Every structure is written in structure tokens, then in C-alpha cells.
Amino acid sequence: MIMSDDPVADAPPSVVLGVGGGIAAYKAAELLRRLRAHGLDVTVVPTRAALRFVGEPTWSALSGKPVSAEVWDDVHDVPHVRLGQQASLVVVAPATADLLARAAHGLADDLLGNVLLTASCPIVMAPAMHTEMWEHGATQANVATLRSRGIIVLDPAVGRLTGADSGPGRLPEPDVIAEVCFAVLSGSKADLVGKRFVVSAGGTREALDPVRYLGNRSSGKQGYAIAAAAIARGAQVTLVSANVNLPAPAGSTVVPVQSAQELLVEMVNRSTDCDVIVMAAAVADFRPSTVSEHKIKKHDDGASPTIELERTTDVLAELVTGRGDATRPVIVGFAAETGDQHGDVLEHGKAKLRRKGCDLLVVNDVSDGKVFGRDQNEVVILTAQGGLIEVPSSSKAQIADRVVDTIVSTLNLDR
Ligand code: CTP
């Protein structure tokens, strides 16, 4: 490690963790641990209501610092101005409907309100409340106001709420919030906050009998790298994962599938509630017409069985058709191509983009078994508007970043 002579420059980034008065306040304790484990200097600033859910000793013990909700403590130190001014990041979790409203209107009747008004660093807010409160016009207007000022307001997660009810309103998991914080602190672009991605990855398997299948060589590395790149930029990502043997990217939701039909069902079900679909999976084009109930046996006469195949549904085409004239979700296809007597890899890619009708097509040259399972890749990204972005040999993570850059540009297109 290179040390400078300036002790301030060597100090860990200071983060203010604002905690709102909601039942999810207890989850902020887990977020605090993660931020501290990352080497960050964290000052907790709860609201008065938050202290009714989780008390001052918890925050103080976990942060190693004194904790106050008021502007009247340690006044000589002017904490209501100093904390916001010195912070590298302010993260608020949970951000209740009331707290979002107060932040949107610049109210400062407690320490957190003052911090939010004096902070010039990035601010991340992770809402949690009942679905009705989240969907109320007042809350949505406040969120829009905060986002228009550059504040990163995450979308709440969908799931079980305080009572028996469920819906959008759950606090995003602490590790998801932490990943957004780390990405923001590392200077990474947070241009996908609030965007929902559904990414298919891996290769489907089509059963022949209880023990055999027809499969392909896709490792899932590129799809997983795209999921990780989107998460690092603030997106919420569901990975529909076909037979992948890789650790799930932190913060992703993984839905395991086996066959093309299972993948079709999961992708179509999720397509109405997302901003971006990435079809990175290698989906079987054919499957055995019948699946034998019993293991297929060798015959004594030496004859080999004939396997009759039928077409599977083209998932990508189905998603494009289902979208109709809408511009959302943005749909990204992948094309594994080899050149042949009908054209080179690029010509096949351009024809496929037109045929499939997606917004972007990431074209891989798979001649001679390149790509599969490797860590390096080389692609061309084609856009429906006629754009062509060449990405020379790079790691799958770097390629993923370029693909995600192109997705962001497409999301920002005025269509
Ligand atoms: N794809 C799909 N459903 C299928 C086959 C492919 O959704 N049944 C998707 C893949 O996930 C990929 C894109 O279509 O995003 C292109 O896949 P590729 O195998 O290159 O193209 P095919 O449509 O299968 O065309 P061909 O094999 O004839 O080149």
C-alpha cells in the first residue's frame, strides 16, 4: 500500500448511515456491519422514530461512535453541518415515506434532515414502506424530485411486508444496498439505479431419458458478468440460470432452470415487470420429441436408436413479439456465429438482428470453439439503429461493461 504524508488522505472514507423509523431499521444494523467490514468509517444518524425500533446502544456499539438524532448534542462540534460536509457518502436505510417527503422538501428538524441538506457527496436512499405508501402519488412525486436532484433512490424490493401482506415496499437486502454504496464510492457509474434487469445465462438441457440430455457448452460466464456489471451500476437483477456452475453475483436473484421450455416460462413471466432483458443463454433449438420414461437400453442386435427432434420456441422472438410496439423492456440478444458460404460472422449477425427484432445483438465469433468457457472474449455489438461497436479481445467483465454501456445508451434513447 502506498501511504501519503497526509493523514486525512489516508483516512477511510466517511459514510453517514441515516436510519428512518420503520420496522426495517433492524436490517440497517446488518448494512452497518457490511460497511464497517469494508473498512469504512460510519457515523449512524437515526431519526427519533428509528430509535423507537432500534436503540442508540446498538448503533453506537456497531459503529464505534457516539450516536444522536438531535442537532442539540455536541453543539460545539457543529455536527449538523460537519457530518454532511465531511461525508464521502450518505446512505439512508430504511427511507420511510415520511423521510423521503422531508428530504424532498428540505425539512431539517432533526440531525439527519440537516445532514441531507449539507451533504455535497452522493446520497443513496433505500426506501421501505407499505405498498400503498410507496405507490401513493405523493411518495412517487417526492421520489421523482429526489432523483431529479441526482439522489440515488433505489426501488424497494418486492416481497413480504410487515404483516401478512406482500408487494413492492420491502427494504432491498443489506448486501444489495452495500454493493450500491461500494460502487458509488469507487466512482463507478450509478446509472442503472432503479432499473430492473432479467438476464438469462448458461445452456439449456433437453431430456432424452431420466439420465441423458442434449446440451451445449455454454458456461454462463458472460451472462453472469453482465448481471454483475448491471448490479454494480445500481440495477436489480434476476438471473434465469440454466445449468451454470458459478457463484451467483452478490445482490442477484437466481432462478434455476433446466430446459428451453422452463427458461421460456420464466423469461416470459418476468418480461412485463422489467426494463431490460438480456438473452445471454444458449437455448436449445431442438429437443427430443418424446422423453423416454425409462433409461434407453442398448439392443442386443446392435441397432442404435433414432432420436426424433422437434423445434423449441424461440424465446427471444417470443419476448420481442410480446413487447409489441412498446419500447420497454430493452431486449438484448446474443448471437454465436461462424462464417460460411452464405456470409461472414458480421453479415450473419446483422441478418439475425433484423430477423429477431431485438434492440441490441452481441455477436460472438465461435469458429474453432472460441469463447465457450474462456475468460477472454471478443464481440461486436450491433444496434437496431445501425450502430456497430467493436469490442476487441477483453475479459468477459470488460465486455459486460461495454454491453451495459450500450444498454444505458439505448434506455436513454428518445424513442
Ligand atoms: N434464442 C432463444 N431461443 C431459442 C434459441 C435462441 O431465445 N430457442 C436466443 C439466444 O438466447 C440468443 C439469440 O436467440 O440471444 C440467438 O441465438 P443463436 O443460437 O445465435 O441463434 P438462433 O436463433 O438459434 O439461430 P441459428 O442457430 O439458426 O443461427
Given this model, what pLDDT does residue 78 score?
81
Give, in order, the Cα–Cα distances in Å from 106 to each of 82, 89, 170, 211, 354: 17, 18, 25, 63, 50
pLDDT value at residue 4: 46
For ligand 1, the distance from its centroid to the CA atom of residue 206, given in whole angstroms, is 15
Instruction: Determine whether 216 is an active site residue.
Output: yes
Q: Is 336 in the pocket of ligand 1 (CB under 6 A)?
A: yes
Residues 6 or more apart whose Cβ sits within 8 Å of residue 283: 200, 204, 242, 260, 263, 312, 314, 315, 316
pLDDT for 198 equals 98
Assess contact for 55 and 82: CB atoms under 8 A.
no
Q: How far is CA 47 from the centre of its chain?
A: 29
Q: Where in the chain is the domain with CATH 3.40.50.10300?
A: 196-410
Query: Tens of pLDDT along 318-372?
Result: 999 999 999 999 999 999 888 898 889 999 999 999 999 999 999 988 877 665 5
Q: Is 351 helix (H, G, I), strand (E, B) or coil?
A: helix
What is the secondary structure of 333-349 as a DSSP string? EEEEE--BTTB-HHHHH
Q: How far apart are CA 197 and CA 194, in angstroms?
A: 10
pLDDT of res. 224: 96
Would you say the CB of residue 315 lies under 6 angstroms from ligand 1? yes
31 neighbors 17 (Cβ within 8 angstroms): yes
Residues of each domain in the chain carrying CATH 3.40.50.1950: 12-185
- The residue from 114, 142, 216, 377 that is catalytic is 216
Nearest to 266, CA basis, from 180, 183, 202: 202
Candidates 312, 314, 330: which one to mutate for ligand 1, based on the most atoms within 8 Å of Cβ?
Answer: 314
For residue 167, the one-letter residue type is: G
Give the distance (Å) from ligand 1 centre to CA of residue 51.
54
Enter the CATH code of domain 12-185.
3.40.50.1950
Cα 144 to the chain's mean position, in Å? 20
Q: Please give the class, per CATH, of domain 196-410.
A: alpha beta
Cell of 59: 448503533
pLDDT of residue 372: 58
Q: Residue ranges of the chain with pLDDT lower than 70? A: 1-10, 369-374, 414-415
